[in-house]
Structure 1
Amino acid sequence: MSTKKTTQTKATGVHHAGAADPEIRISSIHTGAGALVASVTGEVDQATSAQLSQELNHLLDERPAMVVLSLADVPFLDSGGLDVLVDVQRRAHAEHVPVRICAPRRGPTKLLHLTGLDVAFDIYPTVDDALAGTTSGGSPFA
């Protein structure tokens, strides 16, 4: 049995000139095998990274067997977003919970590659591949 939860947050503090209030959405599904799939939608930047961090840490409090973080709907990721990913992976590693990132778009993929974090994370092309621990179609960095 899978359960699904969606959280939508509006960022406060930093605002982009001329843009609407930045917001992100995090949908989470628990699989029957104890894995947690969290899908992020929206730009992950300085304005939204605190909310993402809070929600992902809350999800880690549930002690899943594995976390799959889908970035398929994240068109932009900056250093604040990278900090969140590193912090979540650090905490999960300390709790022996594997974290797998899947389906990053071109912008986030490029940033992960340029910073060298592409080798620090297990990155998969799809959620199914991440859950299975297999790749179909090669590295997203090829």
Structure 2
Amino acid sequence: MSTNEANAAGVVHAGAADPRIRIDSTHTEAGTLVTSVTGEVDQATSAQLCQELNNLLDEHPAMVVLSLEDVPFLDSGGLDVLVNLQRRAHAEHVPVRICAPRRGPTKLLHLTGLDVAFDIYPTVKDALAGTTNAGSPFA
């Protein structure tokens, strides 16, 4: 994701303590938090991602766009992170949009029925605009 693509005001957080996962976040001028995750989201890395997302939600963004473009693998720990993010954001009236999940994570979201619980977009640009059909890529 390029800075121009997100109209970012600047990087808020970058990186993570565990080298197996990288979390990069920016805020757009409209106050949307765009977070890109790189690496596998599994039992070993999910706690760190959950903590980082909670820290970012403490900043009260207008919306959260979570890019999974560079997440080749997602397990039940990763699903738990997504569900917890959605619950907290919903309680705080913050929309969450997931974008660009690869085939593996997309299939897991579909098999668990969570694909209907999230607004899913093919790109960050589409998620920011909200103009592409959201929902299951299997629909």
Structure-2-length-normalised TM-score: 0.89
Give me the identity figure in percent: 82
Q: Which residue matches 2:9?
A: 2
Corresponding position of 2:116: 119
CA distance in 1, matches of 2:136, 2:86: 20
Contact 2:99 2:122 in 1 (8 A): yes
Q: How does 1:10-25 map to 2 (within 5 A)?
A: 10=18, 23-25=20-22
| Distance apart, 1:125 and its partner CA | 0.4
Larger radius of gyration: 1
Indicate the residue corresponding to 2:44 in structure 1.
Answer: 47
TM-score computed with the length of structure 1 as normaliser: 0.87
| Structure 1 residues not aligned, in runs of 5+ | 11-21
Question: Which sections of structure 2, spanning at least 5 residues, go unmatched?
Answer: 1-7
After the TM superposition, list the runs of 4 or more consecutive aligned residues in structure 1 that deviate by more than 4 angstroms. none
Q: Considering only aligned residues, what root-mean-square deviation do their CA atoms show, in Å?
A: 1.7
**Distance of 2:120 and 2:28 partners within structure 1:** 19
**Which residue is equivalent to 1:56?**
53
Residue correspondences, number: 131
Contact 2:67 / 2:124 at 8 angstroms: preserved in 1? yes
